[in-house]
Amino acid sequence: INTVVFETSFSASKAVAKEIAELIRLKQTQNQLCILGLATGSSPKGLYAELVRLHREENLSFKNVIAFNLDEYYPMEPDSVNSYVRFMKAQLFDHVDILPEHYHIPDGTLEKDEIAEYCKLYEENIENYGGLDLQILGIGGNGHIGFNESGSLQNSKTRLVALDHVTRVAASGDFSGLSNTPRTAITLGVKKIMEAKRVILMAWGEGKSAIIKKSVEGEISNKVPATFLQDHNNATFVLDQGSASVLT
């Protein structure tokens, strides 16, 4: 695993945006689509802001971008304040020229008995594009990637999962209380994340320092799904001073 430490999350986010912009532009010169795996949460906000700036000020086009988001709460209406559809539109999609039919976010409105088939098609859709060129990740305080919580297997598929108590507590502020916080979510499985050609995990602040240390230096274990990335041949943890502060 590579770790890169920046002075601030701002400079780190700019560097990640630069890498993504270069990939999108390279694919454009090759007349190819660029298949991105995207995350929500606070960690990628600066990245998305910088991508929007690059679109507005430096002509970066998203016309050749196909995006697959990692996860969505279940159940969740797309226009609800806490939906990841709404988040992605507000942070990125509504401000760049990506085609609406080119972005995919797991559907929180399905009937329970539709989910398994939907998840299978979500993965097939990614495979039909030749897999993810680049996957952006954040990390939960418990080491989850996407909503692959502790106990998720390295070959786990896209599926409905139960959220850990700590994950729900972390989200409860957004939902004005734990009792309103969803108990389940649909997440891309670890396997598809691991199959991405390039993985960039972003983490900011001292609050993430302990889990970053475990993920980078600890033994690979499904207790901390982010440790699986130690087995990936092109994964980088992009950190700031705070999140890197207890690394050896």
- List the alpha helices (DSSP H) in the chain: 9-29, 45-58, 84-91, 115-128, 165-172, 190-195, 209-217
At its nearest, how many Å lie between ligand F6R and the CB of residue 122? 14
| Contact characters 147-166, ligand F6R, x per CB under 6 A | x-------------------
At its nearest, how many Å lie between ligand F6R and the CB of residue 147? 6
At its nearest, how many Å lie between ligand F6R and the CB of residue 145? 6
Residue nearest to ligand F6R (CB): 138
Give the pairing type, strands 65-69 and 103-104.
parallel
Q: CB–CB of 226/154 below 8 Å?
A: no
Query: Which residues from 177-196 bind ligand F6R, rule CB under 6 A?
Result: none
Query: Which residues from 70-129 bind ligand F6R, rule CB under 6 A?
Result: 70-71
Among 146, 189, 225, 242, binds ligand F6R (CB under 6 A): 146
What would the two tokens of residue 114 be? 């539709």
In angstroms, rounded to a whole number, what is the distance separating the alpha carbons of residues 182 and 223?
22
Q: Which is nearer to ligand F6R, 52 or 85 (CB)?
A: 85
Show which residues are catalytic: 149
Q: Which is nearer to ligand F6R, 64 or 201 (CB)?
A: 201
At its nearest, how many Å lie between ligand F6R and the CB of residue 105? 10
Q: What strands, in cross-sheet order, belong to the sheet with 199-203?
A: 2-6, 235-240, 199-203, 134-137, 34-38, 65-69, 103-104
Q: What is the DSSP letter of 166?
A: H
Q: Does residue 140 interact with ligand F6R by CB under 6 A? A: yes
Closest CA to 63 of 103, 30, 99: 99
At its nearest, how many Å lie between ligand F6R and the CB of residue 4? 18
Residue type, 222: N
Q: Which is nearer to ligand F6R, 64 or 69 (CB)?
A: 69
Query: Which residues from 17-46 bind ligand F6R, rule CB under 6 A?
Result: 39-43
Q: Which is nearer to ligand F6R, 64 or 224 (CB)?
A: 224
Cα separations in angstroms, 78 against 45, 75, 86, 220: 19, 10, 6, 35
Positions that interact with ligand F6R (CB under 6 A): 39-43, 70-71, 138-140, 144-147
